[in-house]
């Protein structure tokens, strides 16, 4: 049975945290492509003091319609204080 976007995001966050053991900071994107969901999540890779120096990473996850994670990968890292550059 297929689940909706809110359920897919919740499942992606839970599964990724279980797999990598790190705190999920935010959901960046969730889109459905065919019979798969692509969910991008931002993760706190390293907590620092001050918080602006935390290292954040963006992960892309792929889930099927039932919410089973098929794959995940880290696609970029940044310091919390750094703004993201626009894609060229």
Domain spans in the chain, listed from the N-terminal domain onward: 5-79
Q: Is 10's pLDDT higher than 60?
A: yes
Kindly give the pairing relationship between strand 55-64 and strand 23-33. Answer: unpaired
Within 13 Å and on the Cβ side, how many CA atoms surround 10?
6
Q: For the structural domain made of 5-79, what CATH number should be given? A: 3.10.450.630
Q: What is the pLDDT of residues 19-69, one digit of tens each?
A: 999 989 999 999 999 999 999 999 999 888 887 788 999 999 999 999 999
Q: Give this prediction's pTM.
A: 0.83
DSSP-H helix ranges across 1-88: 5-20
Tokens matching residue 53 = 């120096």
What lies within 8 Å, CB to CB, of 7 at 6+ separation is: 67
């Amino acid at each position: 049975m297929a689940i909706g976007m809110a359920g897919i995001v919740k499942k992606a966050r839970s599964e990724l945290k279980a797999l990598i053991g790190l705190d999920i900071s935010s959901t960046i994107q969730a889109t459905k492509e065919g019979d798969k969901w692509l969910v991008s999540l931002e993760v706190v890779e390293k907590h620092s003091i001050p918080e602006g120096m935390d290292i954040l990473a963006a992960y892309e996850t792929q889930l099927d319609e039932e919410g089973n994670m098929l794959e995940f990968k880290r696609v970029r890292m940044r310091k919390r204080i750094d703004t993201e550059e626009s894609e060229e």
